[in-house]
Amino acid sequence: MYTAELSSNLANFLSPAIVLFLLACAWYGFLTKAPPNNIKDKLEKFDIGYFYCDTPATPTPVVVKKKPRQKPVVRAKPVPKPRPKPKPVAKPKPKPKPELPVDKAIYEECISCLVTLGEKKTVAKKTVHDFFTKNRDVKTVEEFIEKVFQK
């Protein structure tokens, strides 16, 4: 839509047209000998319906009556009810950490083995934990892999 050639042509056409219009307006004013605008006369006289007002408007003073000060109303503050004492909350007992059913090294090795086989880490942890809670006799990673995939 926008091209440099189009905008250049428009500028070349419009700028002389505007200059010619201004020159024509000035030439017309010179030929007709139009009187200059006296803005001062127009500001002093303005139309109000069919009448002209020759006197400038004068502002009327505004009288502000002061009201006598009233005494502030003192209201009694409501007495707050005493709050009941909170009941002592028993501290929650810490959950015992689940003990690993086998050696930690084998446990971690089984998790990493399942992760390398394509399981997600959280699923692998759950699978290993569930397997070792049921089968405590497994001692190597190879036995674990055989029995896990026998299902």
Domain ranges across the chain:
4-52, 104-148
- CA 130, 132, 135, 137: dihedral to nearest 10 degrees? 180
> Is the model's pLDDT at 1 over the cut of 70?
no
| Closest CA relative to residue 102, chosen from 113, 115, 93, 111 | 111
CA distance 11 to 13: 5
Q: What is the pLDDT of residue 45?
A: 61
* Predicted confidence (pLDDT) per residue in 106-117, tens digit: 889 999 999 999
Report residue 97's pLDDT band, with 50, 70 and 90 as the boundaries.
low
CA distance 17 to 137: 102
Question: What DSSP designation does 104 have?
Answer: H
CA distance 43 to 56: 10
> pTM of the predicted model, to two decimals?
0.37
Rounded mean pLDDT, 87-98:
78
CA distance 13 to 17: 6
Show the CA angle centred on residue 147, arms to residues 122 and 115, nearest 5°: 30
Contact residues for 107 (Cβ-Cβ < 8 A; gap 6+): 100, 128, 132
> Is the model's pLDDT at 121 over the cut of 90?
yes
Report residue 7's pLDDT band, with 50, 70 and 90 as the boundaries.
confident
* Predicted confidence (pLDDT) per residue in 32-75, tens digit: 876 666 666 666 665 555 555 667 777 778 888 888 888 888 88
